[in-house]
Chain A
Amino acid sequence: DVLMTQTPVSLPVSLGGQVSISCRSSQSLVYSDGYTYLHWYLQKPGQSPQLLIYRVSNRFSGVPDRFSGSGSGTDFTLRISRVEPEDLGVYYCLQSTHFPLTFGSGTKLEIK
């Protein structure tokens, strides 16, 4: 199985600040079609995960441009700028290149 190593576990931030979350995979996430199926989700308390970024760097419909994704191969980053209260929750990366699909262990974004 592809191991997804997500850091940090907890991320204190001031409102208006900027943060980065790292996700590293144990093998390349480039699929045979040339796409890299690495996605980012936010799970707010009491809710289901919601898609933020798909295929490394594409914002899903309605996601503010404060969220950006980058990376390639095995090393990926989610950046959040101008953090707002609605951004608080747990962020997960998910790879769907290889079966079984696997998630990172999550990063909890909380107010400093």
Chain B
Amino acid sequence: EVQVLESGGGLVQPGNSLKLSCATSGFTFSIAWMYWYRQFPEKRLEWVARIKAKSNNYATDYTESVKGRFTISRDDSKSSIYLQMNNLKEEDTAIYYCARRGGTGAFDYWGQGVMVTVSS
């Protein structure tokens, strides 16, 4: 059974940092491309970041609004990915989801999400 579990969310002040974790099991993590998404309070969904597998040199991509502030990484030995979020802004307030890109090209397994609130 595939499992995806995010952690690390919370309340932070603008300008501060937070690191999200996503632990997975039940599939061959080392070859999977992994993604972070977020859902804003008004329910709009947005792709945040992507990290490819070792065979693709762990290439990363980010949505424009987080470039230079967020960093996605992975630890294949722990079947986990991470999202280091620096210089957080109030508009980063959202539920953050981790998802696997399956062989179909779709995102077939998602975590339950973790809430990040940026507020003074």
Q: Give chain A's interface residues, CB within 8 Å of chain B.
A: 35, 37, 39, 47-51, 54-55, 58, 60, 90, 92, 94, 96, 99-103, 105-106
Contact = CB atoms under 8 A, between A and B. Distances in A.
Contact of B104 (A58, A101, A102): A58
Given A48-B112, A100-B64, A39 B43 contact: no
A43 to B, nearest CB: 8
B45 A55 contact: no
B105 A100 contact: no
Given A48-B111, A48-B112, A102 B47 contact: yes
Contacts of B105: 35, 37, 54-55, 96
Interface string B38-72: 00000111110000000000000101100000000
A96 B111 contact: no
Interface string B79-110: 00000000000000000010001101111101
- In this complex, the interface size class of chain B, counting residues with CB under 8 Å from chain A, is 20 to 34
A49 B96 CA distance: 12
B45 A103 contact: yes
Q: Identify the 3 closest CB pairs spanning chains A and B, nearest first.
A: A54-B106, A101-B47, A48-B110
B45 A51 contact: no
B47 A54 contact: no
B106 A100 contact: no
Contact of A55 (B46, B104, B107): B104
Contact of A48 (B43, B44, B61, B97): B97
Nearest to A103: B45
A96 B50 CA distance: 12
A89 B53 CA distance: 33
A30 to B, nearest CB: 13
